[in-house]
Amino acid sequence: MEASKKPAFFARWRSIRVMYLSMFFSSLGFTIVMASLWPFLLMVAGKGATPSLLGYVVAAFSLGQLIASPLIGFWSNRHGSKIPLLVTLTISVIGNFMYSYSNVIPSHDVRNAWFMIGSRFLVGIGAAITGVTRAYISGATSSSERTPAMANMSMAQALGFVLGPALALVFVPIGETGFQWKAIDLELNMYTGPGFLSGLLALINIICLVALFVDYRLPPPQLTESTQSHKSSVSADDSEALIQMGESKPPDKVGVISSIILFFVVMFVFTVFETIVSPLLMDEYAWTRKEATLYVGILFAVSGIQAVVVFLVVKPLARRFGEIFMLGTALCFMLAGFFVILPFGNKYPPIRAHLIDPSPTNSSFQAESFATNVPGMNITHYDSRGCSYDWCSSTPLIYFEQCLASTFLLGIGYPTSTVMIYTIYSKLLGASPQGFMMGLMASFGCLARVLGPIFVSSLYHHQGPRWMFVAVDSIVFVALILFIGTYRRMRTYN
């Protein structure tokens, strides 16, 4: 009997670790392109590139994930995890290669951007594996194993966030020209390289699944005579004891809905940085496309390293203070993170000097010459006055120290809140199959990442960073109020 249990034990944990690897590759493949997405769009779409268009490119990924996640989750509930994972990863390979071929289309206008949007949509379908991987771990772990396993899963995701931007930096020395293989119309440069690498990682993931993964689900614990005799003496609130006896209350609907709403908000507001950070810093500090790719990649990598440290610390802290307390603290950190980055003072971005003191010989302000000679300035954003943004002449500079402080605070709040919400949500759902419900949770996260990029990019384009950050901080504040009102229902674990 013991000999038969050991292979099952090792197969179960080997498969769980394959899920860690799948999450790692998925997050790495997502972040590896983020630092260069805006510069690549500028190259691909030319004068048609705007921050609003960038919002649609970023949202396309999440739209694909939104549509696919509940379907893939339902499929995995019915037929196991392996085949759905293989299918979605194959789609991810195709989408990533399409992305890297976006620059081959000769038009170099908005049509190229639509090709890029389509490729990111397919990559988003491939990213639907995240819900399946979490659902598999929920079913393959006991209640006592689940919190550390979920934390390990989130840490694998954070490691992907760390190494993605770091690997993207490897392609920066290749430059914008790079290498060409005309026989297959392949261009390998600092923008297409990350997409090709992401597709290759998805292929490696497929091989690992075929060779190492086994569908395994822990059977529900059986009631013994002793537990049956003591069942009536267990308090209705003693959820952990009920789990160990194989019994569970129906999930608290208020707690489940509150968890989903909070997850939606966290994912919604986080899209500010994954969407706007490159155009924001290019506009604020006059960085070139190459500089933005390099510096934003470094910023993301450092933030990812911080997230790994947070995940290492959050497990013992959650055991000591509880998931609910940690979630409330994380939301406070996010509120502070978006507050400290609000622009203030009398110093303005580099373009401001040209607006204040135009020379008599350049009163008409030759935008094309200016865009060529001033680093980072894209001609599509600047007219004869120097800047086509209405807020350019009235919004102060965001100091780089503010960006660092905001990134640090969000680097604590975001990873802590995600792992705590997933852990709370999983415990609320109890011992029933969680593929569909995890897919539903992922879908709401994806919906947030569809609406978020469009919302923040449009607000940034028309109102500027000040009102964009005010709006986002207000959303976090409302979420904090919701948490305070419902946290008691969120801790009624099954």
- Sequence-separated (6 or more) residues with CB below 8 Å from residue 477: 335
Instruction: Describe the crossing of helices 143-170 and 129-140 by its angle, rounded to 10 degrees.
Output: 150
Sign of CA dihedral 18, 95, 168, 203: positive
Going by C-alpha positions, the residue among 472, 463, 470 that lies closest to residue 395 is 463
Ordered per-residue pLDDT tens for the chain, 494 residues: 444 455 566 778 888 889 999 989 888 887 888 878 888 888 888 777 777 788 888 888 888 888 888 788 788 877 788 888 999 999 999 999 999 888 877 666 677 788 889 999 999 898 888 878 888 887 778 767 776 787 788 778 777 876 787 788 888 888 888 788 877 778 888 888 899 999 999 999 999 999 988 877 766 555 444 444 444 444 444 444 444 444 456 677 888 888 899 999 998 888 777 778 888 888 788 787 788 888 888 887 788 788 878 878 887 888 888 888 999 999 999 999 999 998 887 777 765 333 333 333 333 333 333 333 333 333 334 333 334 566 767 788 888 889 899 989 998 998 889 888 888 887 887 766 566 677 677 778 778 888 888 888 888 878 888 888 999 999 999 999 999 988 888 776 54
Answer for the pair 103, 46: CB distance below 8 angstroms, yes or no.
no
Q: Which domains does the chain have, with CATH numbers?
A: 9-216+240-349+395-490 (1.20.1250.20)
What's the full length of the chain, in residues? 494
* DSSP 8-class letter at 180: E
H/E stretch holding 188: strand 186-188
Cα–Cα distance between 329 and 425 in angstroms, integer? 17
Residue 179, SS3?
strand
Q: Under 8 Å CB-to-CB from 269, ≥6 apart: which residues?
A: 334, 338, 452, 472, 475, 476
- CB burial of 168-192 (b: ≥16 within 10 Å; e: otherwise) equals bbebbeeebebeeeeeeebbebbbb
Rounded Cα–Cα distance for residues 263 and 268 (Å):
8
3-state secondary structure of 187: strand
